[in-house]
Structure 1
Amino acid sequence: MFDKWGRLREANKPQLADEIAAVVPKSALESFEEERTVTNVLDGSSLLQRIPGKKGDTFEDIASMYMKHVSKKILNLVVVFDGYKSGPTTKDMTHNRRSKGVFGPKVMFTSTMPLRSKKETYLSNSDNKQNFIDLLCETFKANGIDCVNASADADVMIAKKGIEHARETVTYVIGEDTDLLALLCHYAERGMNDLYFKSSKEDGKCWHINSVAVAVASCPCTLWM
């Protein structure tokens, strides 16, 4: 259950995704590339890893890079970030594992201040990460991009945002975490518009949640165990 450093062992999420893929029809893993209005709900935690941001760039410049990245690639966008203001969260072990136990010092910054370390080192400190997310949200909102910051782990909020928008229009939830796939299936509603869970990677899967939820519901509960 725990590794030699006392951290919870990482769940084998890809295996769960593979098990789900094995029981759903092939059509559930295909998106419909029609010209129609869609809403995109983006997992902010995966976005944070996307833009390199190098030492010497100002925080304002880095935030602008993120804004240009999402506005160029994705329209009708809602970005949902994890929050780091409420103390320990369910993702602390994941963050600890990702940083390999190395945490950068807390840095008080202004938007015009240059980054003086690697972005990964800076973001390994939860206070720094929250302050940077605050800056990103301000930048996104100033440019007409809807941005939401959860109080802690954002997975449930992302899933519920996806369902909320799917009641009105075709919706894509964009992220990499298998937890989101499971949550979207759990919260899926009959009669909602097409809802997809899509990887931001070029070769990633695109799940038609409406179909996946129906297929999974008819499977033995051992699929989730």
Structure 2
Amino acid sequence: MVSMDGQTTAEYTFKKRDQAITISTKSSVKIDGEAVQMDLQLLFQRLTIAAKASQDLASVFKYELCSHPSALFDISLLLRQPQKPVLADAIWALHTPDLLGVTGHVQYVLDGGALVQRIPWTRGSTYKDICKLYSEYVTRKYGEAVVVFDGYQGTSTKDMTHRRRAGGRVGATVTMDEYMPVTMNKDEFLANNTNKQQFINMLSGHLQKKNCQTYHAPGDADLLIVQKAVESATSTNTVLIGDDTDLLILLIYHANLKSHNLFFTPEPKKSTKKPRVWNIKAVKQQLGPSVCTHILFIHAIAGCDTTSRLYGIGKGAPLKKFTTSSEFREQATVFDTQSASTAEVVSAGENALLCLYNGKPGEGLDSLRHKRFCEKVATSTSHVQPQSLPPTSAAAKYHSLRVYYQVQQWKGTVDELLPQEWGWKESDGGLVPVQTDLPPAPLELLRVIRCTCKTDCSSLRCTCKKHDIECSVACSNCKGSGCANSCQAACNDNEDDEDEPGNLH
């Protein structure tokens, strides 16, 4: 602010070094057991410079050179949020919409999770009043529908997704009954899993009194929803009402071409003029048996609720790659095999990712990372973003394991598999994804990205100066300011030079 005094807006230029760094953009790495906070971009730049100065640069690209695998995880260490509707758009572009649409008598199957979110609550109403609103809404629009609810007891691979959707809001646990007035915000109430389960149980009873069939999954309900829709279609035309792309993909995989018509459509919204109506049998016929057999893998490899979106890889890319690459199709068969070993899955997963990143067969992700880094350095006008590089082989291993587990879960064959053996670990009462089994960089590199000098960092005893790296906020004593090896010191020297007579610029 002081530097702005006396200058016009046309004269003043913001300097990168003056930009405030927020806590949300910071991450930490452990060096000799101590957690050191460092900006993600700065950490990547300093580690690559240190690697280039001290050893073969290609050999260190098997490490992320970041505090976390940034191609798979965002700064909050959550899986990168998938862009699931993009895959639906890609399939819709190949699909000829059913012009007749849904006609005549049909059986409706509803996603209970989406239903719970759909109706606003009025504070002051009793929970019985709220349940009555839901049951009247369902019977008025869908008659005696089948409603399938998620379960919220115990751990699940969707724990992280639930935390993201809650947005940090977790309401207090409410011991509720039907005649208790609603005093809490709906979102806060439903962010508490105990509250949500209690309300679902209460709502289920009210729906049953209206002759609706209700079912409760032990965890995520997507597979059970689709199974009930496919089961219904064996005897009558059926419509599944839902908004989740996962349901569409599961219907494409599980639907029987010999059954009655099976449709998928979202809940109509005021802002939508004409909602999409998917005739699942027609979609399956147009996609072909090969794509439909491996559609679960195509969806999971590029990101769903339990697998990360690959930074820079669109959701439509795996569908296109499946139709053009025999190598990619070959890897997909491994994920469709119920008895595949972890070693087979890891190998097939890395080869599949190589295809998506347009690498050469057998090249390896670590080698491709180094190659892409060199290409970007040679052509880019700014520093390389670490997330723009493919993930390391060590991080891709756990991504592949999670993809396999999710595919088997969607197929209904996951009962004999433990998520802890397929890319997940227990933490804070829930399941979280394993990021990698390697440190951010070799320990010798981590030690040189910051100095512990107690002098002015002017000699080669300073590890930063020795490796031609400016001191930074990570340095234990100087904190990147007030020493002879900092950007601030260099800027002060330049300002002094400008004041000396005879200097021409």
Could you list the structure 1 runs, at least 4 aligned residues long, displaced by more than 4 angstroms after superposition.
Answer: 218-221
Structure 1 pair 76/41, CA: closer, same or farther in 2 (3 Å)? Answer: same
**CA distance 1:31–1:53, change in 2 (3 Å):** farther
- CA positional deviation for 1:218: 5.2
2:128 aligned partner: 60
Q: Helix, strand or coil for the counterpart of 2:174?
A: coil
User: For residues 45-84 of structure 1, what are the structure 2 equivalents within 5 Å?
Assistant: 45-84=113-152
5+ residue gaps, structure 2? 1-71, 295-317, 323-355, 357-505
| Aligned twin of 2:299 | none
Is the partner of 1:93 in helix, strand or coil? helix
Residue 145 in structure 1 maps to residue 212 in structure 2: yes
Residues 162-183 of structure 1: CA deviation (Å, up to 9, x unaligned): 1000000000000000000000
Q: C-alpha distance in 2, partners of 1:211/1:110?
A: 46
Counterpart for residue 173 of structure 1 = 240
TM-score by length of 1: 0.92
1:4 aligned residue: 75
| Aligned-partner Cα distance in 1 for 2:136–2:74 | 40
Residue 40 of structure 1 pairs with residue 108 of structure 2: yes
Structure 1 residue ranges without an equivalent (≥5): none
8 Å Cα contact 2:102/2:263 also seen in 1: no
Identity %: 38
More contact order relative to length (CA 8 Å, sep ≥ 6): 1
Question: Would you say 1:208 and 2:276 are equivalent positions?
Answer: no
> How far apart are the structure 2 equivalents of 1:102 and 1:155?
24
> Superposition pairs for residues 98-113 of structure 1, below 5 Å?
98-113=165-180
Change beyond 3 A, Cα 1:31–1:138? farther
Q: Does 1:159 align with 2:226?
A: yes
* Residue 90 of structure 1: how far off its partner (Å): 3.0
Residues 31 and 207 in structure 1, CA contact (< 8 A), matched pair in contact too: no
Instruction: With the length of structure 2 as denominator, give the TM-score of the two structures.
Output: 0.42
Query: How many Å separate the matches in 2 of 1:47 and 1:60?
Result: 16
Amino acid corresponding to residue 83 of structure 2 in structure 1? N
SS at match of 1:132: helix
Q: Deviations over 1:40-78 (max 9, x none)?
A: 000011111111112211111101010111111112300
CA distance in 2, matches of 1:218, 1:148: 30
1:125-175 Cα shifts (integer Å, max 9, x gaps) = 001000000000011111211111111100000111110000000000000
C-alpha RMSD over aligned residues: 1.7
Q: Deviations over 1:171-196 (max 9, x none)?
A: 00000000000000000112100000
Greater CA deviation, 52-61 or 130-139? 52-61
Among 251, 275, 279, the alignment partner of 1:184 is 251
Structure 1 residue 197 displacement after superposition:
0.5
Secondary structure of 1:26 counterpart? coil
Residue 49 of structure 1 aligns to a residue in which SS? helix
Whole-angstrom CA distance in 1 between matches of 2:202 and 2:223: 23
Task: Please list the CA deviations of residues 59-118 of structure 1 after superposition, one character each: whole Å capped at 9, or x if unmatched.
Answer: 111010101111111123000010112x12233222212211221111111110011111
1:118 aligns with 2:178: no
